[in-house]
Structure 1
Amino acid sequence: MSLEDPYTSRHPAAILFDMDGTLVDSEKLWDVALQELAETYGGTLSDAARKAIIGTAMADSMRILHDDLGQPERDPAVSAAWIDARILELFRSGLRWRPGAMALLKAVRAAGIPTALVTSSGRPLVEVALETLGRDSFDVVVCGDEVVATKPHPEPYLTAARLLGVPIERCVAIEDSRTGVASALAAGAAVLAVPGEVPLAPTDGVHQLESLTAVDLELLAALLGEPNAGR
């Protein structure tokens, strides 16, 4: 192989970005929608249930909410439709970038490294978010309603690598949640975790930082060769 082959160097084949809580500070908007729905049902969502919901697929989130309210008989699809409508309104009111996220995404794009957005959110919501993130910021977008199995299953990240035509083991995934980290690790990617609302326990193979402000291309490349560094 030639020295220019990207898969024989420490240059990442692609950077795979989670969305909620990683690129945009949207978890607070989810807090609003979830608490409003809980109030509609005559209850209050507990802190423990809210933390358990972060990073999960919508159907699982609604089951957690229903169980927390002592109303397991409710239809997850009905609750999901309510949340979808409300969160779309909140997203349209404006999304804020997480610290360092915009600069890192721009640096990755400027370097010509392929990028993917890999999110548990559905396509309608992602289309609104892309107005903030930029539709030309990603070569591939994998949404939660476009895969058979969502995070923490590896399918979303494996799908992104397949669509990009790159080996997953040469990719770096950037995540903020336990389920997202589990998905990326199971897929075989190097993982950078930047926890937001919920702290993450140290995990083998995961490099963890407080924010993306100190992340550069050199660090991302180093993760491929030193997955446990800096834990």
Structure 2
Amino acid sequence: MIRVTTTAVPHPAAVLFDMDGTLVDSEKLWDVALQELAAVYGGVLSAAARRAIIGTSMADAMRILHDDLGQPHRDPQASAAWIDARILELFRTGLRWRPGALALLRAVRTAGIPTALVTSSGRPLVEVALDTLGRDSFDVVVCGDEVDAAKPHPEPYLTAARLLGVPIGRCVAIEDSPTGVASALASGAAVLAVPAEVPLGPLDGVHQLDSLTSADLELLAALLGEPPVDA
């Protein structure tokens, strides 16, 4: 277990960041890979299926893609391998930060607040993304292929809190998709949602922003109902 301590611990106890669509503008790259695979299979991925895929595990994504194309017989592992190879190429050349994400991450780190990256993406892809995100930006990284139950199950966020040694109820999770928000809410974390590709309707217990450019440490503390402690 990794425990992160500081001489003056600010609120929240930790900030748990989703990756795709939250920190980096990678969903457009997933669009490219998914549509290219659909074309290889002789079809076109529908907009509804694409929205349903956002935030899901690779296994669920391939099932949705195959069903949408009317080809449920396709081998999900073979499709996943194709997507993995293509998205790795795209991540190496086209990964960009979401507005305000880098500034907020730096502010959290400067304040000494523990951080975790909690993503549905697999470890090989995350390792490439960390070249952009920074390997020192997170105390813990929880990948989709390293948990028994992926988002929307709460396990990824509960795992991050456990590894950090902090109570999940004192954490703020930052998400963009309905699947990720459901996972964070079910875990018991306070949730900040910044919708990217899929709009979110009003949700009890979820604070929504159009962009992380308006998020700061004061807001994160307010989500837990307490003022920040000076570091």
Q: TM-score range by the shorter chain?
A: over 0.9
Structure 2 CA distance, aligned partners of 1:5 and 1:126? 31
Instruction: Return the letter of the residue paired with 1:79.
Output: S
Deviations 1:16-42 (A, max 9, x none): 000000000000000000000000000
After TM superposition, where is structure 1 displaced by more than 6 Å over at least 4 residues in a row? Answer: none
1:91-146 CA-to-partner distances (Å, cap 9, x unmatched) read: 01131000000000000000000000000000000000000000000000000000
Aligned to 1:229: none
- 1:167 counterpart = 2:167: yes
1:146 corresponds to 2:160? no
Answering whether residue 53 of structure 2 is matched by residue 57 of structure 1, we say no
Matches within 5 A, 1:103-118: 103-118=103-118
- For residues 90 and 145 of structure 1, the distance between their equivalents in structure 2, rounded to whole angstroms, comes to 20
Structure 1 residue 89 corresponds to structure 2 residue 89: yes
Q: Could you state the TM-score of these two structures normalised by the residue count of structure 2?
A: 0.93
The amino acid that maps onto 2:198 is: V
For residues 173-188 of structure 1, the aligned pairs below 5 Å read 173-188=173-188
Equivalent position SS for 1:225: coil
Q: What's the secondary structure of 1:93's corresponding residue? A: helix
Aligned residue for 2:71, secondary structure, equals coil
Identity among equivalent positions (%) equals 86
Q: CA RMSD in A?
A: 1.2
Task: Structure 1 unaligned segments of length 5 or more: list them.
Answer: 227-231
Structure 1 position 80 matched with structure 2 position 80? yes
Q: Which has the higher contact order (CA 8 A, sep 6+)?
A: 2
Q: Distance in 1 between matches of 2:225 and 2:108?
A: 18
Tell me how far apart the structure 2 counterparts of residues 19 and 197 of structure 1 sit (CA, whole Å): 13
Normalising by structure 1, report the TM-score. Answer: 0.93
For structure 2, the residue ranges without an aligned partner over 5 or more in a row are 1-6, 227-231
- What per-residue deviation string (whole Å, max 9, x for no partner) do you get for residues 69-96 of structure 1? 0001111111000000000000011310
- d(CA) in 1 for partners of 2:128, 2:18: 15
Matched, 1:44 2:48: no
The one-letter code of the counterpart of 2:15 is: I
Describe the SS at the equivalent of 2:213. Answer: coil
Alignment-mate amino acid for residue 184 of structure 1:
A
> SS in structure 1 opposite 2:172?
strand
Q: Please tell me whether residue 205 in structure 1 is matched to residue 205 in structure 2.
A: yes
- C-alpha distance in 2 between matches for 1:201 and 1:58: 25
Q: What CA distance in whole angstroms lies between the structure 2 residues aligned with 1:76 and 1:13?
A: 39
1:70 maps to what in 2? Answer: 70
CA drift at 1:5: 7.8
Q: Deviations over 1:29-57 (max 9, x none)?
A: 00000000000000000000000000000
Q: Matches of 2:54 and 2:183 in 1, distance apart? A: 14
